[in-house]
Structure formats: structure tokens, C-alpha cells
Amino acid sequence: MSDWDDLLGAALIGTARRTFTLDQLAIPGTHDLPVEGAEATLLTAAALAAGYRRAGWTPPTWRGTVAPPAGPDDRTECSPTATQLLELLLDRTIRIESGGTELLTLHWLTAARDAGQRPPYRLTVRLLRFGTANTATRALVREVIGPRGAWLAQHNLSWRWAAAIPAEDVVERFATAARADRLALLTDLRATEPDFARTLVEDTWADEQAATRAGLLDTLHIGLSHRDEPLLERALDDRAQSVRAAAAALLDRLPDSARAARMRDRATALITVRKKKLHVELPAEPDAAARRDGITDQREPGHGRAASWLIQILAAAPLSTWDTALIAHAEQDVLTGWTKAALRQRNQEWLTALAEHQPGPELVAALTPDTATALLAKQKKMDARFGGLLAAAPGPWQAKFSTELINKLRAAKAEQVLQLAAATLAEHLHPAALAAVEAWLLTIDPDRRPARRVLRGLAHALTIRATILQEFT
Amino acid sequence: MASRWTVARVLALAPDPGSAKAARGLTNPRTWSDLGSNESLVWGKCQGSARSPYQVTVDLNEPAFRCTCPSRKFPCKHGLALLLMWAANDGVVADMANAEAFASDWAAQRAGRTAPTEERTPAPEAQAKRLAERESLMSAGIDDFERWLHDVVRQGLASARRQPPTFWDSAGARLVDAQLPGLGERVRAMGSDVHARPDWAPHLLDALGRWYLVVRAWRQRAKLDAAAMADLRTVVGWSRRTAEVLAGERVTDRWWVLGMSIEDDDPQLVSQRTWLYGERTGETVVVLDFAAAGGALKVPQVLGSVVDGEVALYPGSAPKRALFAGDEHKVTQGDGLPGATDVAGALARAAGWLAGNPWLTRVPLALKDMTVVPGDTPLLVDRTGAALALAPDTEVWELLALSGGRPVPIFGEWISEHFRPLAAEVDDRLVQL
């Protein structure tokens, strides 16, 4: 509308320098309006033309192509109460000290995932922001926001971690992307299609730089299986020490591999069992084959050169070689080797036996929740050592154990344990322990401020977790 | 002992949001003395700008207000502030056996006056005189405003933009003093708009046209029809008493709650607009509610529900302002966005409203099948490709998450060539944006 532009031009400069007449408007019937003076004329023209523009505004036509919509999500939406709770947690209206709010958010997400329910779509953006800020939660967030979230993340670069990448694009992206992106891509792919991910690594393996080869190999720890063994065996002969070390570390976790068998031969040559007693001979300088299998001169803390070789051999040999009954008769170097082996091979039988023999936070953390709590329930002393074990224990804990634990701590006045393991208690205690926590809170000396604060935080967290549990069952 | 009122009930008496806000600012007990209350009266003295404190008394039965301040507002901010402090019931305004002399004297005077019933209504001559006084004050303000407008266009818009904030503030303040607060607020807001908006020049020219139309319309107000006169009253901020509206036109319908917008930028006052669509009449109306910050809004409707009942309509052109009237309102759950059309249809309806009321700034649009297109300028696009630019503060990602990239019905406000979405329909339910 050019008459509007003329009018705007005159208005910008001012009627002192440029005037505008009503017949310049393409609006019929304006010339006989009773208007006097340049200012009144311009203002009248503005009133008329602006009114025409407002009422006659026509929208521009968009000619782009609409991106394909999000795929369907068959899960049912969670209850309004659950939604409200998640909102309170995400906007931190509910606040619990030392990361407690994030933990409760994770509880919510886990409960929703396990119940096969989804949050309402309007919270997708806030969950994507939560996942962007809390890197460790991303896998869970991605699962909970489902196809809608993966679809939305495609439109925003800062949410790329959650974006659904079409399968046909993966090969292309892996070949061309920057190193960090390639690793992220591979990490994702290993979780769902480990074999396909490995073939991607194998395809480009010969052309990669050493640092990249080590990084790519590292991602195989996700979904590791015996099908990865040929590549790992090949990598033991790599030019780069970092790649060889990465391969050895992964093979340590495959007790059925050829390398594990070679380690068993080395171990049984050194250790013999006679009348249920262990006879240990320290190894000699490793030969070339042992070096290739990853035995190094790195000292184990508190052990000599030869003992360190022994520990490395035992840590890489299959535990099925031995009987757990031997634990009671083993020296410290053998125990250290077996402990490493049990942790790497995730052998629950050995982990349990070793933890019962010599409980330590590292072993307790690797047990299943039920085994760990069974072990903890047997402990007599509610001291700092117990606090350390408790803090390391995995969850969730059963109602019976949780309530008994709180009652035991209360009876022993073990406020130190309470403070040491506060975060773990908030995370793993069963909501059924709420009554026990509240009872303690009622009777505790008001001067015991730090302990009171922990108990109050616990009561708060358990109340919310009870609600989450209730809303998802 | 009669129970004390709620804050919401007190604020409902405010003649306009400005008074409610001013009253909140006056509730500091240190500016008050001789506070007290009994079953029918609340009284106190407030230190204002005059040398001697204003004597404020409220008769709770009517309620009736008496204040020695010169304000023409009724009730004035002092009366409202006194009631707010009394409603707080925190011991500041305590119940007393004996009222202060100024309060009991006024009450006695009123009792004497009310006794002969016919004499109670103010003499028509007195009322006409007050009205004439007000109108002549407003006319003088309009004359002054016209000179200011002439000045702006003589110097040019570019020059007006270079003026300091006081240029707009003092013009706005003069309008407020001349009992034209609605106009004053618009002029004051322009002071920041000319710097904040990239399209400031056409925006200012558009506003100048509308303001000049106020000047012309005011001069010819005797010739305006009732609706146009009411629109003029709204734009200048000449408010109406609730009782007057309740006594006017009423419409019974099934009112669908289409969208709500809560504004809490003001630290003292929360305001809420609720857009309603009448199923039977096809009318779109808006309910405005105000509450002190932290207080509950008077009529908290649920988005997406259907309120079966009566509203009282404010005089004026469509879309009209309304007020829930009567007692019984049956509320049921609605199943989406009624009356939605494509962009062309909604804009055609808007054109009718804009032609009827040249001062209309917020136009409700109920749109069907709108696709969200993210980008530097996020858009809503209908099936024909007609595109509306989203307001800059729109949560585009949430809108995109809700729609999943599919066309959805969306309700919102069209404000100076931008669309501000308020609700979207997802799975037959309206969701607040």
C-alpha cells in the first residue's frame, strides 16, 4: 500500500517540512471531510489509513514444506498428580539439599518408565532442558519422553543428544562428523545395535588415528559380548600402546575369551591346590606372549614387582578356574587379583563370597541390591566403616530392611552413619521407612542439628517417593 | 461480631485497577493513625499530601465511603486501603467500643439523611453538576492532548523518538490528571515501544491515528450511538460501576472457556483475561479480573470447561467485556475449541470487530488446523498456507511439543500483527500455553 508509505514518510519528517493531503489516500470519500490544517490532516489520514490496514490485513502465504510429524506414542499419559509432582520437581518448587531434587526427578522418571507411562507432551521441553543440564540422566530422559521428544530434539541443536537419527543417516554421519560426535553416535548405537556399531568401527579401523582408535574401542564397553572378541584380539597387536591397553581392559571382562584361557594357563602354572590349600609361586619376567596379552610392569599399590604380575594374571583369568572355598586360605595378593577379576567379570557368586570374607565399599557397590542389603543386615557395629558400606550400597531396598535399618541406627544413636550415608538413604530407602524416620525425628534431641536436618530431608524425600510410587502402581 | 471481608471482596469495590494498586501502596500502618472498627464502621486518619491527615470512614452496611481527600474516584484509594488493612485482621485495625468522633458524626449524619427515604438518592441537579464538571475537565484534557498530537506530527515521528522518557510520561500524567487514565496509559507505554519495537514507526503512526480519533470522537460524543460511546469511554478509561453493569444487558449461554492470560508484571496487582465463547449466541466475550498480588482471583475459571449460566455485558462493541452474573453456574468439561476457522475466516471476523471499534487492540482468534513452523520468525500456518507470525515471547518449543508437528486448533490474541497463543487443543482437550 504505497499511500501508507507516503503517509509514513511525511509523518517521520513532520508536517513542518512535508505535508500530506487526504486525496493522496486510496480511500474513497475522504476529500470532503471537514479537516483544517496540515497536522489535523495528517492525523486524520493516519486514523483512516491505519484503520484500513488493520481491518484489511491479509496474511502472507508460507510456501515451505512441513517437516514430517512425530511418530505415535502408545503409552498412556501419567496421572494429573504425577504430572503436578514432576512439574514441582522440575521447577524446583520442591527442593531437597545436595542434589536430592535431581534424585527424586530420576525416581519419577524411572517409575514412569517402569510403569510404561509418559508425561504430558507439554513437559517434553522442560525434560529436554533437564537432560541437557544433567548429562548422566540423558538415557533415561530420552526413554521417558519417547518418540515425541526424539522428534522435537531434531529441531533444536542443543537437544541433539536426544534426537532420533534415521538409520540411513547414521553411516553418513559416522563417516563425516567430528570426533566427539562420532563417539556420541557410536555410544548411542552400541546400546541398541551393538553388532552394527562394531562393523562401523571395523570398516574404518585401518584409516583412523591412534587416539581415535582408542576412543572408538572404548565405546565397545556398552553391550560388550564375545562377538567383539576378534576385533579386540586384533587390537592387542596395535602399534599404539593406548589401543592395546583399551583392548586388554575390555578382554578382562570376557572370561570365555581365548585371552582369558591363556591367562588361566599362566595362573594354573603358578598356583596349585593341594588338600584345599593354595600353593603360590610368583611369576618370572613376562615373556613376549604375556606382554602381548597386556601384562605390564605397573605396580599394584603395596605389592612388589612379581606380586603385581601375579595380580594382573589372576585379574584376567576366568574365575571358574577356582573354587570360592579357597578365599578363606588366600593371601592378600591372590585376594586382590580375584577381587579385580570378580569386579570385571561381574561374577555375583565371587563378589558375594569376597564381600562376605572382607566387606569393602567397592565390592558392596557391585552386588545386587538384595545381596548387598543381606550383607549389611549382618553387620553388628554401626560405625564409620558401616557408614561407608551403606553409602556404597546399590538400591532399591526392601521395606523390611529399610525400616529395620533406621530402627537399628536410632537404637545405636548412629548419627555419624546417618550423615555419611544421607544421600544413599534418601535415594534407596523404601518409603515404608517413613514412619521410622518420623519417629526418630520426634524423639531426637533438638540440639542435634545436623542429624535433625538429615532426618527432615529424609522424611521429605520419602513422602515424595511414596507419592510417586502410588501414582505409578 | 461480623466477620471481616476478604481482600478480593474489598478489591472488587475498586473503580479501576489503578485505584486497587494505589490502595495496596497505602496499607502501611505508619501513614495511619486513630484506626479502629466496630460492627458497622471502619475508620482511620491517613497522612496524605495535605497538611492535615485525611479522615476516612467506611460504613460497612452499604458499603458507603467518606474521605476528606479531594479525589474524584469513588471509592478513593484511602477508603480501599483502610478496608484492606481491616480485612487483613492482623490487629492493626482493632475492634473498639467507641468510634472516633469524625466517624460517629458522619454515621449519625447519614442516619439522619437516610431516614426520609425519598431524599436518599442524590438530587438529580447535583448529579448533573458533578457530571458536567467531570466532562469539562475531560474536554480540557482532550484539547491539551490535541495540541500535543499536533506538536508530535509537526516535528515528525523521528524527532518524537529522540525525546526523553519524560516526554511521554508527562503527556500521560496530564491525561491521567484530566480523568483520561486509559489514554494516559497508552501514551506512557509508547515511550518504551518506540525504542523496543523494530516496527516502531508504523506502530506509532497507527497509535497517533487512534488517539486522534479519540479527540474527534469526544468532540462529537453527543452524536455517537451507545456502543461507540461505550468504546470511547473504555479507551479513555472512564470506568463503570459493577452495579451499573449488572443492571444492564444479560446473556444466558453455555460459555466455553477458550483461553486465559494472567499478567503479573506488576508487583502489586495480578490481572487476568478470560475469553469465553457462547455456544448458543456465537458471541466471544472477555472477563477481566483483578487481584492484589498473592491474592486469589475472583472468578478462577478452568480452561476448557463450559460454564452454563448468565453473564452481564458491558456496553460497547463486540467482542464485549463481560461479568459473571447470577449465582448458579453449572460447570462441565468441554471437548476442544469451538468456533474455530481457518486464518482467512478468523481475520474476516476480526475485520468486522476492528471496523466497529477502531480502538480494539486485542483480537481473539480461534484457529483450526494450525501447523507450527519453527525458525527465526516462528509461524503458525493453516491448511491454505496463510501464515501468522507468533509473538516474540511465545514458547514455540512447547507449542511444537504439544502439536507434534501436526495441525492443531489454537486459540489466542492477535495484537498488532502478531499472534499470541493462549491455548491449544490436544486430544480433545484445551491445554494452557
Angle (CA) B156 B179 B48, round 5°: 115
B153 and A42 in contact by Cβ < 8 A? yes
DSSP string, A245-310: HHHHHHHTT-TTSHHHHHHHHHHHHHEEEETTEEEE----S--HHHHHTT---PPPTT--HHHHHH
CB B156 within 8 A of CB A14: yes
CB pairs under 8 A between A and B: 141
Domain boundary among B186, B204, B236: B236
Model pLDDT, residue A195: 92
Name residue, grid cell 569393602.
A360
**Structure confidence at residue B384 as a pLDDT band (50, 70, 90):** very high
A47 and B371 in contact by Cβ < 8 A? no
Residue B398 within a domain: yes
Residue B2 within a domain: no
Nine-digit cell string for B57: 470512614
**Which positions ≥6 away from B320 have C-beta within 8 Å?**
B283, B285, B286, B313, B314
Q: Residue A248's closest CA among A229, A226, A265?
A: A229
- CATH number, domain of B391, equals 2.40.50
Length reported for chain A: 473
Interface predicted TM-score (ipTM) of this complex, two decimals: 0.72
CA-to-CA distance for B297 and B274, rounded, in angstroms? 11
**Which positions ≥6 away from B8 have C-beta within 8 Å?**
B291, B295, B296, B297, B298
Q: Indicate if B113 and B133 belong to the same structural domain.
A: no
A121 and B402 in contact by Cβ < 8 A? yes
B154 and A49 in contact by Cβ < 8 A? no
pLDDT tens, residue by residue, A389-413: 999 999 889 999 999 999 999 999 9
With contacts defined as CB-CB under 8 Å, which chain A residues touch B344? 59
Nine-digit cell string for A473: 502402581
Q: Indicate if B11 and B105 belong to the same structural domain.
A: yes
CA-to-CA distance for A188 and B318, rounded, in angstroms? 57
Higher pLDDT, B412 or A449: B412
CA-to-CA distance for B150 and B156, rounded, in angstroms? 10
**Structure confidence at residue B300 as a pLDDT band (50, 70, 90):** low
> Measured in Å, how far apart are chain B's first and last C-alpha atoms?
45
Model pLDDT, residue B118: 45
Nine-digit cell string for B404: 507434534
Residue B98 within a domain: yes
Q: Dmax of chain B from CA atoms?
A: 74
Nine-digit cell string for B89: 485482621
**Structure confidence at residue B117 as a pLDDT band (50, 70, 90):** very low
Give the one of B153, B216, B355 whose C-beta lies nearest to A11's C-beta: B153
- List the single residue in B with minimal CA-CA distance to A65: B373
Name residue, grid cell 521441553.
A125
Q: Indicate if B13 and B103 belong to the same structural domain.
A: yes
CA-to-CA distance for A72 and A114, rounded, in angstroms? 19
Average pLDDT over residues B109-125: 61
Model pLDDT, residue B115: 47
Average pLDDT over residues B318-346: 89
B384 and A66 in contact by Cβ < 8 A? no
Model pLDDT, residue A383: 92
Name residue, grid cell 480433545.
B428
Give the one of B150, B209, B344 whose C-beta lies nearest to A50's C-beta: B209
User: What sign for the dihedral angle of Cα A345, A350, A354, A355?
Assistant: positive
Q: Indicate if B37 and B83 belong to the same structural domain.
A: yes
Give the one of A11, A68, A151 whose C-beta lies nearest to B157's C-beta: A11
Q: Indicate if B260 and B315 belong to the same structural domain.
A: yes
Residue B1 within a domain: no
CA-to-CA distance for A60 and B27, rounded, in angstroms? 52
**Structure confidence at residue B1 as a pLDDT band (50, 70, 90):** very low
Domain region containing B207: 125-236
Residue B286 within a domain: yes
CA of A454, closest CA in chain B: separation in Å? 32
pLDDT tens, residue by residue, A197-239: 999 899 889 888 998 999 999 999 999 999 999 999 999 999 9
- Which region holds residue A238: left if phi is over 0, alpha if psi is between -120 and 50, else beta? beta
Average pLDDT over residues B25-53: 83
Which of these ranges, A446-450, B89-93, B253-257, B367-371, has the smallest mean pLDDT?
Answer: B89-93
- List the single residue in B with minimal CA-CA distance to A125: B398
The type of residue at B18 is G
Residue B338 within a domain: no
Average pLDDT over residues B138-150: 96
Interface test with A, best of B342, B397, B410 (most A CBs within 10 A): B397
pLDDT tens, residue by residue, A406-435: 999 999 999 999 989 988 998 899 999 999
- Burial (0-12, 13-18, 19+ Cβ within 10 Å), A183: middle
- Burial (0-12, 13-18, 19+ Cβ within 10 Å), B308: middle
Kindly compute the dihedral angle of the four CA atoms of residues B174, B177, B179, B182, in this order, to the nearest 10 degrees.
50
Q: How many domains does chain B have?
A: 4
Task: Say what percent of chain B tops pLDDT 90.
Answer: 52
Q: Measured between CB atoms, does A53 come within 8 Å of chain B? A: yes
Distance between alpha carbon A407 and the CA centroid of its chain, in Å?
Answer: 33
With contacts defined as CB-CB under 8 Å, which chain A residues touch B385? 61-63
Residue A160 has pLDDT above 90, yes or no: no
Residue B328 has pLDDT above 90, yes or no: no
pLDDT tens, residue by residue, A111-122: 999 999 999 999
Interface test with A, best of B212, B347, B415 (most A CBs within 10 A): B212
> Measured in Å, how far apart are chain A's first and last C-alpha atoms?
63
Q: Indicate if B309 and B359 belong to the same structural domain.
A: no
- Burial (0-12, 13-18, 19+ Cβ within 10 Å), A236: middle
Which of these ranges, B43-47, B204-208, B411-415, has the smallest mean pLDDT?
Answer: B43-47
Q: Indicate if B298 and B211 belong to the same structural domain.
A: no
Strand partners, B272: B262, B289
With contacts defined as CB-CB under 8 Å, which chain B residues touch A65? none
Nine-digit cell string for B290: 483483578
CB A214 within 8 A of CB A188: no
- List the single residue in B with minimal CA-CA distance to A77: B427
Model pLDDT, residue A116: 95
Which helix (DSSP H) or strand (DSSP E) does residue A167 occupy?
A: helix A167-176
pLDDT tens, residue by residue, B280-294: 999 999 998 877 766
CA of A161, closest CA in chain B: separation in Å? 16
**Structure confidence at residue B330 as a pLDDT band (50, 70, 90):** confident
CA-to-CA distance for B180 and B184, rounded, in angstroms? 6
CB B102 within 8 A of CB B55: yes
CA atoms within 13 A on the CB side of A325: 5
Q: Indicate if B19 and B74 belong to the same structural domain.
A: yes
Q: Indicate if B149 and B89 belong to the same structural domain.
A: no
Average pLDDT over residues B221-227: 93
- Whole-number CA gyration radius for chain B: 24
Nine-digit cell string for A331: 593371601
How do beta strands A117-118 and A271-274 pair?
unpaired
Domain boundary among B201, B218, B236: B236
B209 and A49 in contact by Cβ < 8 A? yes
pLDDT tens, residue by residue, A61-110: 999 888 889 999 999 999 999 999 999 999 877 777 656 788 889 999 99
Residue B116 has pLDDT above 50, yes or no: no
* 3-state class (DSSP) for residue B36: strand
Alpha carbon separation from B168 to A40, A182, A217, B148, B175 (Å, rounded): 20, 57, 68, 10, 11
**Which positions ≥6 away from B223 have C-beta within 8 Å?**
none
A14 and B154 in contact by Cβ < 8 A? yes
How do beta strands B284-292 and B320-333 pair?
parallel
The DSSP secondary-structure symbol of A150 reads H
Kindly compute the dihedral angle of the four CA atoms of residues A98, A104, A105, A106, in this order, to the nearest 10 degrees.
100
Q: With both helix axes pointing from N to C terminus, report the angle between B396-403 and A138-153 in degrees, rounded to the nearest 10.
A: 90
Interface test with A, best of B145, B153, B155, B381 (most A CBs within 10 A): B153
Domain boundary among B188, B212, B236: B236
Model pLDDT, residue B125: 84
Length reported for chain B: 433
**Structure confidence at residue B119 as a pLDDT band (50, 70, 90):** very low
Q: Indicate if B350 and B394 belong to the same structural domain.
A: yes
Q: Measured between CB atoms, does A84 come within 8 Å of chain B? A: no
Angle (CA) B391 A122 B336, round 5°: 80
- List the single residue in A with minimal CA-CA distance to B356: A55
Q: Indicate if B216 and B170 belong to the same structural domain.
A: yes
Residue B408 within a domain: yes
Task: Say what percent of chain A tops pLDDT 70.
Answer: 98
Model pLDDT, residue B269: 73
CB A108 within 8 A of CB A78: no
Q: Measured between CB atoms, does A155 come within 8 Å of chain B? A: yes
Average pLDDT over residues A283-308: 94
pLDDT tens, residue by residue, A9-35: 999 999 999 989 888 888 887 877 888
Distance between alpha carbon B171 and the CA centroid of its chain, in Å?
Answer: 21
- Burial (0-12, 13-18, 19+ Cβ within 10 Å), B182: buried
Model pLDDT, residue B297: 64
Report the mean per-residue pLDDT for chain B.
87
Q: Residue A348's closest CA among A372, A380, A322?
A: A372
Q: Indicate if B205 and B305 belong to the same structural domain.
A: no
CA-to-CA distance for A113 and A427, rounded, in angstroms? 17
CA-to-CA distance for B67 and A78, rounded, in angstroms? 56
